[in-house]
Structure 1
């Protein structure tokens, strides 16, 4: 086993996000502190439907991006969100873009360019004899998420876009960590993006029978609610700048503490149906156990969990049963941002990780599902983030707050 002096860390050097919580870290933390929600009613087939749009300030940032480069106006909204979040992450990391940036990129999406795809397909159905624009194929492929982020950052390195439904962002973490630990890369951008507030996508969620019946002003998304399905779609993106650092490099950081990726566990269970899940949450159990084993931690070391809990009765109950199986009756602090921004599908794990970062650094008063906790009430050291998706897959990320050797708290 390596001594601490020989240790290498996967350090979170920076992060960026665009969501209903805001478009800058200051706005995001203020939203968490105030408990602000992003829900509004969108007319869908003549019915008011709650959704979570990005904040007005974040929308202004997106429109500035579109005006900045005419080509960006032709990109899907999911790609535009990813570019904005990636720029923030790189800037916060202090990675220079004066020259070509040696960095890998893995940014995924559950649905991809659904807005453009629905638009182009609707036009095709109206006039199928009309020749399609040659831009249709390259602008609707999933791969254009990572490639356009790389283009914007002038980055050089492996480019990966993928979809593992709602586990997408956490599996991007796993892939980035694997590249970094293998020595095949020094820096990696990982995360997820989603812009699913389109007629066809909303209709798909409603067809499953999980969409919330509550209006936007009635707290429509209610994780761990045992009486109703309260799933609400939201849009957003979050990207993290990961860097492999030696102990000497870590000690050279200007800040006294940093967050490292301790583990990313994976789980799978044979799903009883295309959307089904076992009552025991076997995939959650497998992912959490895998993460704890990788990090060489026991369940007692985990101070808090940011839940997947999208507001579906069966899914939320399965996750809690899985946590009970792993943690027993031990007290664990549960958190969720879906009560504020709904479920952002492939971006949700990354936005949950952002919430976890804020908890680790005590940046805000977090809304706990059972009440409110002040910043000095909890100071987690090891925090777990859960995500799961269709098909029986799950992932669990463990983030650890690490202090320098000469600092209190390591």
Structure 2
């Protein structure tokens, strides 16, 4: 097959606190109180929970799967259906899925059982390996070209998508399912976030996650998954309105700190610069930046510094979707892409956040053609993806 010039997003699926059938016409925060911890969280709504339970019951093998795997399966099925891919499609299909924590629910359950009686179920190991996320998605999709699981903390979904772009452009696959999933609303994971001193003290009805607000950290955990159905496409096959994944850039800085942050966000700078260079774009070609911005004081400030270094003080508008669905860790970048694609299709217009934030300094233009999506995670890694709509 000829080396493709473009990677086209033929479909995508998502499931999160905002729902399971795409974003609602008007975006409203989706937080509730976790009874056990007393913390604000962004959990699936009742309708999405019912759909996930139906999926769990649809195959006997699914009943033992971790929640993170089921979320990925749901989003992948939605993406495949939207792309119109049929079971008899002979084009090579590969899968790349990211998750920061993996099978948190199953792992904590199995470990609690081990502490109680000193034994482990036979299925504990295969059901808690990170690789079972991609393998189950591949099993459902009938992928024959490969199944890869990634874990690069909170930028892991973009790592998975970067792998997909490389495979498609190298001719190693013609179709690719790639994205991220996370089900971190467990007692131990919530306790870990609290121990870092970053968790929001605000109640669910008071905009508990406030990206770019400064002051006290307002990190809130959420759950969800998003998966993109990608195809290798030549210039001759490209059509106006096609959604393009132009590039994925990466950055890293070794800081020696527990979070991997420095005040200037060098890893963000590297990732954004690389994404622009790969696509042959200038900073002025970007209409909107969808920030990683998790509501933590240090993280938000570092990303702002990095954006201003690359784009200048009068750069493009910036926004975040975490004030709506919290921080979904390894799924966050994929859900940010879900948000960005709705914006590119004109189904969602970014607006000022309903609280004081530096993100409100500039609003996005009425017609957004190209969006840069940022993600970063513990350990000093970052990634940026450039998505656009073909004209």
**Using the alignment, how far apart are the partners of 1:99 and 1:339 within structure 2?**
39
29, 33, 37: which one pairs with 1:37?
29
Q: Name 1:17's counterpart in structure 2.
A: 14
> 1:366–1:373: 8 Å Cα contact kept in structure 2?
no
165, 172, 178: which one pairs with 1:177?
165
Q: SS of the counterpart of 1:396?
A: strand
- CA shift digits 1:76-119 (9 cap, x unpaired): 00000000000011111111124677310001100000100000
> 2:6–2:234: 8 Å Cα contact kept in structure 1?
yes
103, 107, 117: which one pairs with 2:97?
107
**Using the alignment, how far apart are the partners of 2:91 and 2:39 within structure 1?**
42
Q: Are 1:306 and 2:301 counterparts?
A: no
> 2:96–2:164: 8 Å Cα contact kept in structure 1?
yes
| Consecutive unaligned residues in structure 2, runs of 5 or more | 354-358
Q: SS of the counterpart of 1:161?
A: strand
Q: Are 1:53 and 2:37 counterparts?
A: no
Q: SS of the counterpart of 2:264?
A: coil
Q: Name 1:407's counterpart in structure 2.
A: none
Q: SS of the counterpart of 2:217?
A: coil
| Matching of residues 255-404 of structure 1 within 5 Å | 256-369=240-353, 370=359, 377-403=365-391
**Using the alignment, how far apart are the partners of 1:60 and 1:250 within structure 2?**
38
Q: SS of the counterpart of 1:264?
A: strand
Range 364-373 or range 259-268, more displaced: 364-373
For this pair of structures, how many residues does the alignment match?
384
**Using the alignment, how far apart are the partners of 2:97 and 2:21 within structure 1?**
19
Cα 1:373–1:224 change in 2 (3 A) is: closer
**Using the alignment, how far apart are the partners of 1:207 and 1:105 within structure 2?**
34
- Write 1 or 2 for the structure with the bigger share of strand: 1
**TM-score after normalising by structure 2:** 0.94
Range 323-332 or range 296-305, more displaced: 323-332
RMSD over aligned Cα atoms: 1.8
Q: SS of the counterpart of 2:233?
A: strand
Range 177-186 or range 148-157, more displaced: 148-157
> 2:154–2:375: 8 Å Cα contact kept in structure 1?
yes
Range 151-160 or range 77-86, more displaced: 151-160
**Using the alignment, how far apart are the partners of 2:90 and 2:126 within structure 1?**
24
